[in-house]
Each structure stands twice: as structure tokens, then as C-alpha cells.
């Protein structure tokens, strides 16, 4: 018998996304090798970890020689690093696609080209730009860094025009390095995300739309399939497909949308597996992690249908007591193995059920046992209302 060589997936960034990718890769016979700049990166608990900086060319070249394909758990990997790797090994999503998703201005411009409306926005490089943009867009508005922002970081909300000084004091110093963007604040009815996957052969699939709730800019709760999406699923899928094809995107990505007056508006695109898709691990036939591994390795994609209904709680800062989740029917505990720290994503739990009545029951029961009624409240309300 000839010896067999298992494919090796290289992952840049060693957080919980890399950890869940490596866990999904294993049953496919795919080994993972993770690079992170810190030695206790939590993916290192489930896959070999190379400790190296994004600028450590020698270490990255050696890493590239050990893997069949490179992907990301972290979208802010510097473009130079991605390009350097792409000269040595297949990198998916490609550095060009990553570059668009790294820049809020390029991303929103692309959304419009693809026919997806966005909140009004203007690029801001100077204090004068901010005054001009505020006069045009009005208040309330949000000033954001164009690059390196995520989970509400690098953002300042302007309630009135008088907040311009405070906004500039908070973010003006970053205008030169990263550029800024001013966006109209959208009093949206709902936040939805499309989790989509495109294979190396162009095959494209989406999971059912997910509804999301954020606290201080960080995802707190997801519900999938989002209730009452009969008129939204098809246009959202079509927009995600257009975007993916324009970027020749390979792998999983998330398109975050606002719903305002029943219409979709584009907020941002995350060029990677996404927090609002964690429910797919237990709630869909193939998870976002498994399909990302399949996509970047050129394997056929798995079925993205939901098994029933799912809700996901995000655990931020520190983990609550696991017992009420472990004891509940069809509820699933995920501990990322991280040290507690304010604002840090340390785990999540997904609760599944065959119908809305039973999901409400299970969700409310777990939330109550954990003293988290407030966190579950919006999803329970949404399920009961629709
Ligand atoms: P982002 O990092 O841009 O996804 O922002 C994090 C969260 O802040 C979003 O999921 C929204 O809940 C909120 N947000 C961001 N931009 C806007 C906007 N233009 N209008 C209203 N809410 C926003």
C-alpha cells in the first residue's frame, strides 16, 4: 500500500475561530497548523501552533512550506503578509478579496456597485472633512476607522453635531494611519447576517439568514433561521452571491445587514467564518467551519440547511456556569479555553429545537437559570411575536 499524505490547513490567527476550524477539519482527515504571535493562543490547545509575528518572514516562509493551503481566523492580517504567502502557497480568501473587506470604504463602495444599498457615508481624512460630512449626513452618525475596527472597536457615536470635537479627539489621531469614515446612524428594525460559502469551483451556498443582537457593538445573541424572512432571504442570498463572484471569493464569509423599512442595507462584510454562524455547528447539516475547510481545500460543499431552530448566546468577559446548559435538551456548550478578560469572547452556547415553541421554552429556561433573561429577551420576544 502506498503511504498517504494528509492535507494540512494553515491558519493565520489562533483564536476561537481557528480552534473551531481545526476541530471541524479533523474528521475530514485534514491536519491544521496555526500561526499566532502569542504562545497561549487558544487554537494551540487543539492544533500545533507556530508562535510568530506577521512580519517574521523566515517563520512565515517555513510555515508556507508545511501547509497545502492558508486561510485566516483574523481579517486584519497585513496585506503584505498575505501577498508574501500567496507567492508560496494557495491562500483563500485571496489577498485581493481580503483587502476589500479590510477597508470599510472599499467595502461599502463595492456593496453599492453590487446593488446593495448602504447607510450614507463619506471618507474622512481631516477635521474639515468631518465638518463637511456632518453637514451633509447630519446627526446622529457614527465615525469609524476604515481599517482594523471590529466588534464596535474604533467607533464613536455622534448624537448631535456638537459631538464633532469629541469624535475627533477620540479617533482623529487614527485618520492619518487608517483613514476614517462617517456613516449615518440607521435606526434599523433588525440586524441580519448572511453566512455564505463559495467553493474553488464557484459553487455557492448560504445558510438561512440569522438575526443578531449586539450589546456595546459586540454580538450578544443570534437566532436562526431568522423569523419572518420570506421576502428577504432571496435578495440577501443574491447580493451575497454577486459580492462573492465580484471578489472571486473562496471560503466562508458573513455579510452583515440592517433591515430598515423592510429593506436591506449593507453594514459590513467579514472575510472569514463569523460569530453569527456559530449556531451552524449543531443547527445545520454542515457547519460554517466544515464548509470553510471544504471550500479552501477544493472539496465538495456540504448541505447548509438548518436542522430546526437555533439560538446562540455569546459569552463575553467570563463564562457563566455551564451546568444549566449541559443539563438542557439539545443545548451545546463551547468553552474556548481562554483566560477571562473584560470584553473578550470566551465561549458560546447554542440551543436547538425542532420548533419555535420548544426553542422559547429551552432558551428562556437556560437564561433564567443563568440570570441572563435580559440577554435572551429579544430572541424570545421575536419568536413569540412572529
Ligand atoms: P460594526 O463593527 O460596524 O459591525 O458595528 C458594530 C455594531 O454597531 C453593528 O452590528 C450595529 O449594531 C452597530 N452599528 C454599526 N454601524 C451602525 C450604523 N451606521 N447605524 C446603526 N448602528 C450601527
CATH of residue 149: 3.30.1490.20
- CB-ligand 1 contact for 191 (6 Å cutoff): yes
Q: Is the pTM of this model over 0.85?
A: yes
Cα–Cα–Cα angle for 154, 156, 159, rounded to 5 degrees: 165
Closest residue by CA, ligand 1 atom 17: 185
- Same-domain status, 261 and 371: yes
296 contacts 69 by C-beta, under 8 angstroms: yes
188 CA: nearest ligand 1 atom = 21
How many other CB atoms sit within 10 Å of the CB of residue 9? Answer: 26
258 C-alpha vs ligand 1 centroid, how far in Å? 9
What integer pLDDT is reported at residue 113 of this predicted model?
Answer: 96
In angstroms, the Cα distances linking 48 to 28, 273, 381 are: 17, 20, 43
- CB-ligand 1 contact for 185 (6 Å cutoff): yes
Distance CA 370, CA 366 (A): 6
- Same-domain status, 150 and 22: no
In a domain, 138, yes or no: yes
Is the pLDDT at 152 greater than 70? The verdict is no
CA atoms within 13 A of residue 243's CA, in its CB half-sphere: 37
What integer pLDDT is reported at residue 74 of this predicted model?
Answer: 87
Distance CA 300, CA 112 (A): 31
Ligand 1 mutation pick, 267, 275, 316, 343, max ligand atoms within 8 A of CB: 267
Distance CA 373, CA 312 (A): 14
What integer pLDDT is reported at residue 367 of this predicted model?
Answer: 97
In a domain, 115, yes or no: no
378 C-alpha vs ligand 1 centroid, how far in Å? 17
What integer pLDDT is reported at residue 313 of this predicted model?
Answer: 97
CB within 8 Å of 370: residues ≥ 6 apart = 320, 321, 324, 325
- CB-ligand 1 contact for 267 (6 Å cutoff): yes
- CB-ligand 1 contact for 157 (6 Å cutoff): no
**CATH number, domain containing residue 30:** 3.40.50.20
What integer pLDDT is reported at residue 217 of this predicted model?
Answer: 87
Distance CA 331, CA 328 (A): 6
335 contacts 322 by C-beta, under 8 angstroms: yes
In a domain, 178, yes or no: yes
In a domain, 209, yes or no: yes
Examine the fold and report which residue of 184, 199, 220 is the final residue of a domain before the chain moves on: 184
In a domain, 99, yes or no: no
Q: Considering only CA atoms, which of 330, 370, 378, 298 is closest in space to residue 28? A: 298
- CB-ligand 1 contact for 260 (6 Å cutoff): no
Examine the fold and report which residue of 184, 207, 230 is the final residue of a domain before the chain moves on: 184
In a domain, 102, yes or no: no
- Same-domain status, 266 and 317: yes
- Same-domain status, 162 and 284: no
58 C-alpha vs ligand 1 centroid, how far in Å? 38
How many other CB atoms sit within 10 Å of the CB of residue 244? Answer: 24
- CB-ligand 1 contact for 268 (6 Å cutoff): yes
Q: Give the range of the structural domain holding residue 213, as residue numbers without chain letter.
A: 190-384
In whole numbers, what is the pLDDT of the chain averaged over residues?
Answer: 95
The widest CA-to-CA distance across the chain, in whole angstroms, is 75
Query: Per-residue confidence at 64, pLDDT binned at 50, 70, 90?
Result: very high
Is the pLDDT at 31 greater than 70? The verdict is yes
Distance CA 267, CA 253 (A): 14
- Same-domain status, 217 and 331: yes
- Same-domain status, 163 and 305: no
- Same-domain status, 252 and 127: no
267 C-alpha vs ligand 1 centroid, how far in Å? 7
180 contacts 131 by C-beta, under 8 angstroms: no
Ligand 1 mutation pick, 146, 147, 152, 178, max ligand atoms within 8 A of CB: 152
- Same-domain status, 380 and 262: yes
In a domain, 108, yes or no: no
In angstroms, the Cα distances linking 42 to 22, 48, 183, 235, 306 are: 11, 11, 35, 37, 28
Is the pLDDT at 253 greater than 80? The verdict is yes
- Same-domain status, 365 and 317: yes
151 CA: nearest ligand 1 atom = 2
Closest residue by CA, ligand 1 atom 9: 217
- CB-ligand 1 contact for 140 (6 Å cutoff): no
Element housing 182 (H / E):
strand 180-184
Examine the fold and report which residue of 165, 184, 203 is the final residue of a domain before the chain moves on: 184
**CATH number, domain containing residue 207:** 3.30.470.20
- Same-domain status, 40 and 146: no
Number of domains in the chain: 3
- Same-domain status, 212 and 232: yes
- Same-domain status, 300 and 369: yes
Amino acid at each position: 500500500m502506498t503511504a498517504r499524505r494528509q492535507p494540512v490547513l494553515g491558519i493565520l490567527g489562533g483564536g476561537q475561530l481557528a480552534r473551531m476550524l481545526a476541530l471541524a477539519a479533523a474528521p475530514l482527515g485534514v491536519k491544521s497548523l496555526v500561526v499566532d504571535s502569542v504562545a497561549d493562543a487558544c487554537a494551540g490547545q487543539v492544533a500545533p501552533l507556530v508562535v510568530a509575528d506577521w512580519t517574521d518572514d523566515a517563520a512565515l516562509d517555513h510555515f508556507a512550506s508545511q501547509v497545502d493551503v492558508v486561510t485566516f481566523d483574523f481579517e486584519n492580517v497585513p496585506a503584505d503578509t498575505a501577498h508574501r504567502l500567496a507567492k508560496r502557497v494557495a491562500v483563500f480568501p485571496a489577498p485581493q478579496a481580503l483587502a476589500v473587506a479590510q477597508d470599510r470604504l472599499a467595502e461599502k463602495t463595492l456593496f453599492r456597485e453590487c446593488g446593495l444599498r448602504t447607510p450614507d457615508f463619506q471618507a474622512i481624512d481631516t477635521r474639515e472633512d468631518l465638518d463637511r460630512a456632518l453637514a451633509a449626513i447630519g446627526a446622529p452618525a457614527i465615525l469609524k476607522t476604515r481599517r482594523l475596527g471590529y466588534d464596535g472597536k474604533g467607533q464613536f457615536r455622534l448624537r448631535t453635531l456638537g459631538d464633532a470635537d469629541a469624535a475627533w479627539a477620540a479617533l482623529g489621531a487614527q485618520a492619518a494611519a487608517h483613514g476614517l469614515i462617517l456613516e449615518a446612524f440607521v435606526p434599523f428594525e433588525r440586524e441580519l447576517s448572511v453566512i455564505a460559502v463559495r467553493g474553488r469551483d464557484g459553487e455557492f451556498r448560504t445558510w438561512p439568514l440569522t438575526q443578531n443582537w449586539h450589546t456595546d457593538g459586540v454580538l450578544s445573541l443570534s437566532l436562526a433561521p431568522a423569523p419572518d424572512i420570506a421576502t428577504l432571504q432571496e435578495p440577501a442570498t443574491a447580493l451575497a452571491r454577486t459580492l462573492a463572484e465580484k471578489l472571486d471569493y473562496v471560503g466562508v464569509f458573513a455579510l452583515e445587514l440592517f433591515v430598515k423599512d423592510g429593506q436591506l442595507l449593507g453594514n459590513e462584510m467579514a472575510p472569514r467564518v463569523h460569530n453569527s454562524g456559530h449556531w451552524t455547528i449543531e443547527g445545520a447539516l454542515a457547519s460554517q467551519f466544515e464548509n470553510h475547510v471544504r471550500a479552501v481545500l477544493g472539496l465538495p460543499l456540504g448541505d447548509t440547511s438548518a436542522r430546526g431552530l437555533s439560538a446562540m448566546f455569546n459569552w463575553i468577559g467570563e463564562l457563566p456556569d455551564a451546568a444549566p446548559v449541559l443539563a438542557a435538551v439539545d443545548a451545546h456548550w463551547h468553552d474556548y479555553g481562554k483566560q477571562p478578560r473584560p470584553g473578550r469572547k470566551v465561549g458560546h452556547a447554542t440551543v436547538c429545537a425542532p420548533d419555535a415553541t420548544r426553542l422559547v421554552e429551552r432558551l428562556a429556561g437556560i437564561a433564567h437559570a443563568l440570570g441572563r433573561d435580559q440577554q435572551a429577551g429579544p430572541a424570545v420576544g421575536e419568536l413569540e411575536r412572529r
